[in-house]
Amino acid sequence: MVFDIGTVIAQWQTAGIYDFLLPFLLIFAIVLGILRSTSIIGGNRGLHIIIALVIGLMAVSYN
């Protein structure tokens, strides 16, 4: 099976990957990196992930 990259990109665009998933992943990764590197809340890894998830979802839903 051969995939054309143009077709894949068009399918991702119609599925909303560029509108929801990629911005969410970018914001999640940035917030998680900041929380882990600064240790503002401590070293609780699960709490960092939950906070990054909430901030990422709030930012995407705001737009």
Query: Can you tell me the distance from the alpha carbon of 25 to that of 21, in angstroms, rounded to the nearest whole number?
Result: 6
Total-model pTM: 0.79
Residue with token string 């737009």? 63
- pLDDT tens string, the chain, 63 residues long: the values are 677 899 988 998 898 888 888 999 999 999 999 999 998 888 889 999 999 999 999 999 886
Specify the long-range contacts of residues 20-23, CB closer than 8 Å, at least 24 apart. 20/60, 23/59, 23/60, 23/63
Amino acid at 18: Y
Residue 63, C-beta contacts closer than 8 angstroms, at least 6 positions apart:
23
Domain ranges (residues) in the chain: 14-62
